[in-house]
Amino acid sequence: MSFLNSLRVRLPTLSRTAQVPARGYAAKSAEQGDPKKDIIRRVLYPSNIKNRASPVGTWRPDVARALQRAIPSAQAHYTIERAWLLHKRHLRKKRDAELSRKFTRMKEAMDELHCLDTKLYLEANKPEDPRARSQVEMALMKQLRISEARILESRIRGLFPRELKIPTDTPSRAGWNYDYKRFHRPL
């Protein structure tokens, strides 16, 4: 008997010592707890074992058999897949054509505006930093309440005001707000 074999015989190995379960945290405890807690635990943490179809149809155990009945060959499946991709490509090309048509019409309108009124054209195309505030606005923001200052701060210059009521055919159920004060904007 060699020296290594004699050591192996004398030294206890991990398999011969007390077995420590690798997933001891997941093992069921010997004592039974409160059944209400068990019910809540089962509802919140359902098991991952799928042995029946889900009621909403997100998982079905027989999906492979159903697909095999519906599409018997791989060639038919690939043909359907290619047809679907071709359909998506046609939709994408239609969308791109519509966008390019809108862009050319917008460019024609801007060129017409440039011919009619250069000053208005330059004002419409002036680059503007939406975060920039004038001295008047900064002074006004110091005097406003925090909520009003946030409204003024979040408003992007040139866009339609968010706080404006949407026009409707019928009046609101609350009636007219007689305490409304116009919010002054130095824009």
Q: Determine if residue 57 is left, alpha or beta; phi over 0 gives left, psi from -120 to 50 gives alpha, anything else beta.
A: left
Domain extents in the chain? 74-124, 129-162
Range of weakest confidence among 1-5, 34-38, 48-52, 83-87: 1-5
Range of weakest confidence among 82-86, 165-169, 181-185: 181-185
96-105 pLDDT, tens digit each? 999 999 999 9
pTM, entire model: 0.39
Which residues, 6 or more positions from 54, have their beta carbon under 8 angstroms from its beta carbon?
60
Give the pLDDT score at 45. Answer: 79
Residue 84 φ then ψ, to 5°: -65, -45
Give the pLDDT score at 106. Answer: 96
Residue 15 pLDDT class (50, 70, 90 cuts): very low
Give the pLDDT score at 88. Answer: 98
Of 151, 164, 157, which is closest to residue 133 (Cα–Cα)? 157
100-156 pLDDT, tens digit each? 999 999 999 999 999 999 999 998 888 877 677 788 888 888 888 888 888 777 777
Give the pLDDT score at 98. Answer: 98
